Structure 1
Amino acid sequence: MKKVAYGGVSFITTDEAADALLQFAAAAALNDFAEVVHLPAVDEDGRGIIADLVIGPASELLVTPSDSTAPSPDTIEAVNKLHARTVALGASKRVSIGLPIEDTEVDTSYLDTP
């Protein structure tokens, strides 16, 4: 499960849904496009909800791992729709998810560290 922060609030959803949402948001930004997305999720209290988000060029999402023990929401249909919308925008060839920074070698020798 992953925690998605959006517009000052957060919710928890499946890894697949969070990743599909990020891919769609990147594709929407590249194509100057906006759309409302309905995503099954759980709130901070573990209750099932539907998160409604406007995703577009100015969307700012933060996705982090979650250690929630809440039951996973059924996101299969939403993930399939997000993948289809991403492909329909024609950005799937230009959008990729890179490696997390901790998994890459970065030269930090130039940084001023205490």
Structure 2
Amino acid sequence: MRGFKLFDEELNCTACHSGSSFTNNSLQNNGIYAKYEDPGRYNITADSNDIGKFKVPTLRNIAITKPYMHDGEMETLKEVVEHYKTGGKQHFNQSQHIQPFTLTNQEQTDLIYFLNALTDKQFLD
């Protein structure tokens, strides 16, 4: 419950990861790079406002869907949380929802426990 409270109320992750599927199905630039080798949605639209934008994934079954990010850049949920804590690489198209934040060790653990709880136990070893 502490992890969900962080996710929902304090960190506003639900701006993009909302609803029963924990996605709003939008296209966002999460600031993983300052310069993207794969320009994402731009490949389809040729609109510079789409550089680095990728579909917001569901968080359902996240514990078994690694590696994370559009290109598999991150192996662990801890790495993902660390990325978001920095506020991203400040790409010019980066979503305004990606803002730096701090967490205590306990809060980070709580957040990761919550994310793991989104995985259906039948898929775990």
* TM-score in terms of structure 2 length: 0.27
Q: Name the structure with the higher helix share.
A: 2
Higher Rg of the two aligned structures: 1
Q: Name the structure with the higher strand share.
A: 1
* TM-score in terms of structure 1 length: 0.29
